[in-house]
Structure 1
Amino acid sequence: MNPKKFALKHARISIGIFSVVVISGYLLTLLVFYIFNTQNQKLTMQIRAISNLNETNEEKLASIKQELGKLKKEDQYVRNEKLQSDIKSIETTYNQAVDAYEELLDLKVVSKNTETYDGAFADILTLLANQNYASAEADLKSFITQVQSEKQKITASFSIPANVPANNTPPSSGYSRQVVKTDLGDFLVDIITADLNSTRVIVDTASDGDCTNDCPVLPLATYVARSGAYAGINGSYFCPASYPSCADKKNSYDTLVMNKDKKYINSANNVYSTVPAAIFTGNTSRFVGASQEWGRDTGVDAVIANRPLLVSGGQSVFSGSAEVKEGAKGGRSFVAASGSIAYIGVVQNATVGESAKVLATMGIQNALNLDDGGSTALWSGGYKVGPGRDLPNVVLFVGK
């Protein structure tokens, strides 16, 4: 081969290989930067959420933010392995810290004596601020176990007040507090009965449309007053602003609702939803096993979706699931109906499966579970249960 041609061909091949190496290196750099940047944005959001947990811990959390800022400025090539290791440690412990704090918030719903746990959590934040991730991780696991154990002790100590009458049938009208006897044991029930011939069931919402973050909320009493209702209960599950895991979706909910102004909320993301729903119109009601079974008819009075469906056709259709919170004891809110009679109420100190059994024992034909825990609230001339936290939507009884 001609030496000049050989040299030219060799040069072209070398340039081609060099170009591939350069481009690959450039793409790898972009990928590392993107992954690192995404992780830091997520961690920063979590830290900002946790920084609002307790004013006394702000300085500790600020120092951790500063450390993350230093990590962000590190050379991506030289320190990448160390960066990834540090980020993983921070992310793991902060995720655990978020879980731990939300467990503590749940404990505060049932107990006012949480000073010991408040102090323990502050100590854990100090470990995190000092970058002692191993100790923080161990303490967080122990902390969560202790808080869960304390909640179990409190629910186990629950006792039905004396002189509450036993009655396995709902009241013919109005509010009643009664003991319902089932083969699973005795349960305290707060329940309100309404005749749909003289009462309209509506859903009131704080937002006039879809909302994904920083959504408005109101106390149940405010909803009752502004709608002229005589009774009401908390609505569907939502993401409380006090939960760090809800930092980018505060007070939002994603299930289907049609409010009193005939506005469907979260319609687009529930076209194929399998979440059950309750529909009220005139003196009738309909309970469907999946929201996708329902269209967008605005001729009805109210639509609210939540999970799970508790009773269908007079039979309990939910006995439990793998969801931990559904298997824990607590106040279980519901909306229900039998023929032209509607009910709202709370089964006290029950799992979700137990509440289904209680309502079926009472002869109620259809029932849907509603939000619970710190959201639980029931109104009839005043709070019968609650007031609980402010809510994005509620179910109300309004006279016709």
Structure 2
Amino acid sequence: MDEDEELVELGGPRFPRWVRLGGLLVVAVAVLALIVVRAWPGQGATPLVTVSPSPPAQVVGAWPTAPGSCGARHELAIVSSTPRKEKTGLTMLMGGDRLRAVDFDDNSVTVIDGLRPGEFGDVRTGSTGPLVTTSTCRPGGSRILHVGSGRKAGVAGSLGSLEVLLTGGDGAWVVLSPPDPDQGAGFVRRLDADHWTRLPVGFSPYAASDDQMVGFLEPSQSGPSSRLVLVSATTGRQLADLGQDAQPVATGAGEVLWTTGCNPSSASPCDLHRRRLATGSTATYRLPHPACCGGPGVVSPDGREVAFLLERAAVDSRYEGHPMRPSNLAVLQLASGRLEIVPGIELPPKSSPGLAFSADGRWLAIALDAGPRIRLLAWRSGVQHPYEAKPIRGQVLWAATVATVANGW
């Protein structure tokens, strides 16, 4: 008996041909089942995304503009809305040249004292209540205000000219940038602590959630292109590399979302990625058009939805100020991959509307800069046009901001 025959005997007797064919069939079925499981939405594959039709614009002629803050002229969103037809339960804190608490259902507005003359408030959600950072028409430092349940604003800190405030999850962090990002490292500390943590050289964070910061890492001007990365706010260590061809979309509720392959000069499809910060699990969704404008999106408190800007398929001939396309406002259901376009809203390129979900994720609050006014809208799935409250007279500095708060706040 030669060596080959010994190996066959050690492996056991040869099975009949029908048994071997049956085994191959079982293996093929198992492989097919594995492919189906991996292709299911939320398991790392690209689910099919459906888009509701984009409604036509409601104006004719040049793109509308209005005088804004600091001598600027602001381009306006084109909106088709209706008065409220049902209860929303939305109570909001709005930023701008005044801090205002707004009850969307009864159109009541309460001005909250705290801003100094010439200051504008930028509202964001904090773990113990809304936080506000102030700014003026001239660059410089700012103050941090905390708005409590009694609708009173108190000073919670200050920011130097090289400092920014990041909020998300259960905390707020102050980031100190180096005078020369190519030569030194930045630092970060929790708003309620004094200890500073050193950040990687060249890292510029723009958002935070659950003690993780997301931002761009550019080691040097002569080195490789910047990469989107996650960095621990506690240790300063890099936790994950999200890619070189990456642009931020939204961060919050323990999620970070970003795109790859999105070309703002093309209407071609590209990918939206989602990562759970606690587990590191990821999913990918195929977008029909590029996501827009570098991350003004918002994640719902339960982490099930994300609202963001999605470029329109065609350039609007009335807009000649920038080669980028106007945008729709889109809401993506992360579990199913279902994408809805908020009807009746067309946003100019580089627009940054204020966005906030209600606590239960059912309603999306939308604040729009309208020059001498601020427009406030609410939308949920199934509503043909967004509801609009009475416009609020006032101005914003760079963009409208809004935060939803609990009823009776």
TM-score, normalization by structure 2:
0.22
Larger Rg: 1
Structure having the larger proportion of residues in helix = 1
